[in-house]
Structure 1
Amino acid sequence: MNKRHFKTFPIILITLIVVMIAPSLLWIRRNEPLNLEVFAREVYNQEMSYQVTVLLLAGIVIGIVYVLTGKDGLAYLNLKKRDGQIRPEPWLGIKPKEGDSWINLGLNFAIVITLITAGVIYFQLVHGGRMSLDLYPGVLLVIVFALTNAFAEEIIFRFSFVAVVSKLGYSPYLAQGLAAAVFGVIHFFGTPSGIPGALMAAFLGWILAKSMIETKGFFWALSIHFLQDVVIFTAVFRN
């Protein structure tokens, strides 16, 4: 193996790992290998079983990234780094003015992406149905599962690519492209689903990977994804 092949091997490896994990999430969702029975409502038990399993997978991914990148890769898990210079991407309408930073952009994306998600979820899951939620444990579980799901998916689908690609010095567009492609494809079969879900997930994958790279932290990726999942779980758990 020559030097060039050795340098690309970690990227190929982490891509294969994430690509294998992605369909396994669908299998876990449908087959419930843990089959936990904690709550009176089955939908809560199903989600609990899924979330525990996926958190274990996320832990494994963190371990693999550490082996491939060392402490440099784990630095992207920092939640205190919320600001950074924005790299212009005119094709997405990202044309930062002087003084703009991720503090502003992150907040704007958090609001816009959450509102768009709410619209898509309303028409896919809620439209025409009754909408209410148990105060306990429903509301509490929405918050807990939104946080665990956002964390696990950001680890698997964003942190993995960003940490490895950045460590090896390749273009950030490679990490963003991988994050967008895999996340988009898996959401064709997820929630939100179909072509709208896949396109929205691909866009989210690109933006959240970008946030990690440019802030060198996990804050905006986790926060924006968490707000999205609050909307999604609220709809999924509606009575």
Structure 2
Amino acid sequence: MTNQKALIWITGLLLASGLPLQLGAVWTPATGVAAGIAATVILTILYAVVRTPALLIFAAISVFGWFSALVTSLIGDWLQTAPIPVAFLIVNALKLVSVVLAVVAARRLGWGRDDLNVHVGDLNAKVVGWLRWPVLGPLVILVVFGLFTIGVPWSNVAGWIPVFVLAAFVNAASEEFLYRHTAIRALRDTMSVPAAVVLTSLVFGLGHLTGNPGGWLGVTYTTAYGLICALAMVQTRGFGWNLTIHIFGDISIVLALTLMTPG
């Protein structure tokens, strides 16, 4: 492994994943924010020295973690009393700050829609052998939806469906653009596409260590989910399936959280 590849793997797993913020927050929220800002600064400085696109995209991705922590610390009391779908929407909408930074970075690097696969893509693309995405995509959606919603009480949620869908779309679109479309494109300059798929999925998974779902089981789940979404984006060369799969996954998670939360 070259020095540049090693640097990208290390910074991706240790800095872009949000681990400094998540581990720092164990002490105090302020410590977590400071650690997150430090990660962004380090990634930015490294990009200025090495000029590797992946480091610039990693820096953009790292921003939303500490920015969200900073904002939520200011409105935390209100968020704790807000309905789960509303809180989910507000917190995850803060990821748009990283999306904007990634768009600016992509334009600076001269990437267009074709480079980033920002198209619907070939929805009938082959996965492997006879298996195609019109079969695997719905199957993944059904399995994930069942995993998170079977056994929970289905009552008093109809009025929240529009908020579920909006919150899921905002979060899924933001994460897919950051972790799949821009990150994989950036990594293609220094490593193979399969390696980029694995690295971005690990970064995505580690970012959920203290999220929903959390813990190391959550990291394993979201890493596997990231692999599926990344594979869908790469094979279809578009967002049609990876975005759809991610949206339904987020709907199932926020629905389960709402149903299992008293009141």
Map of 2:108 onto structure 1: 67
Q: Following the alignment from structure 1 to structure 2, what is the Cα–Cα distance between the partners of residues 171 and 76? A: 17
Describe the shift of the 1:227–1:207 C-alpha distance in structure 2 as closer, same or farther (beyond 3 A). Answer: same
1:44 is displaced (CA, Å) by: 4.8
CA deviation profile, 1:43-62 (whole Å, cap 9, x unmatched): 45433432332223323223
Structure 1 residue matching 2:123: 3-state secondary structure: coil
Return the match for 2:141 from 110, 122, 128: 110
1:13 alignment partner AA: L
Unaligned runs of 5+ residues in structure 2 are 6-48
Tell me, yes or no, if the aligned pair for 2:180 and 2:200 is still in contact at 8 Å. yes
Return the match for 1:159 from 170, 181, 205: 181
Structure 2 residue matching 1:51: 3-state secondary structure: helix
CA deviation profile, 1:161-188 (whole Å, cap 9, x unmatched): 222234x373112221222111111111
Tell me, yes or no, if the aligned pair for 1:150 and 1:226 is still in contact at 8 Å. yes
Return the match for 2:162 from 140, 150, 155: 140
Higher relative contact order (Cα pairs below 8 Å, separated by 6+ residues): 1
Q: Aligned pair count? A: 213
1:213 is displaced (CA, Å) by: 1.0
CA deviation profile, 1:138-180 (whole Å, cap 9, x unmatched): 12111111111111111122222222234x3731122212221
Q: Following the alignment from structure 1 to structure 2, what is the Cα–Cα distance between the partners of residues 206 and 193? A: 17
Map of 1:83 onto structure 2: 124
Q: Following the alignment from structure 1 to structure 2, what is the Cα–Cα distance between the partners of residues 139 and 71? A: 34
2:137 alignment partner AA: G
Unaligned runs of 5+ residues in structure 1 are 87-95
2:57 alignment partner AA: I
Q: Following the alignment from structure 1 to structure 2, what is the Cα–Cα distance between the partners of residues 160 and 212? A: 11
1:197 is displaced (CA, Å) by: 0.8
Q: Following the alignment from structure 1 to structure 2, what is the Cα–Cα distance between the partners of residues 48 and 113? A: 20
Matches within 5 A, 1:115-126: 115-118=146-149
Describe the shift of the 1:26–1:118 C-alpha distance in structure 2 as closer, same or farther (beyond 3 A). Answer: farther
Q: Following the alignment from structure 2 to structure 1, what is the Cα–Cα distance between the partners of residues 237 and 149? A: 28
Tell me the TM-score normalized by structure 1: 0.73
Describe the shift of the 1:55–1:160 C-alpha distance in structure 2 as closer, same or farther (beyond 3 A). Answer: same
Structure 1 residue matching 2:211: 3-state secondary structure: coil
Percentage of identical aligned residues: 20
Map of 1:23 onto structure 2: 65
Q: Following the alignment from structure 1 to structure 2, what is the Cα–Cα distance between the partners of residues 113 and 66? A: 35
Describe the shift of the 1:108–1:43 C-alpha distance in structure 2 as closer, same or farther (beyond 3 A). Answer: closer
Tell me, yes or no, if the aligned pair for 1:183 and 1:202 is still in contact at 8 Å. yes
Q: Following the alignment from structure 1 to structure 2, what is the Cα–Cα distance between the partners of residues 23 and 34? A: 15
How much is the aligned-residue C-alpha RMSD, in angstroms?
3.3
Map of 2:17 onto structure 1: none
1:65 alignment partner AA: A
Tell me the TM-score normalized by structure 2: 0.67
The answer to whether the aligner puts 1:9 opposite 2:52 as a matched pair is yes
Map of 1:89 onto structure 2: none
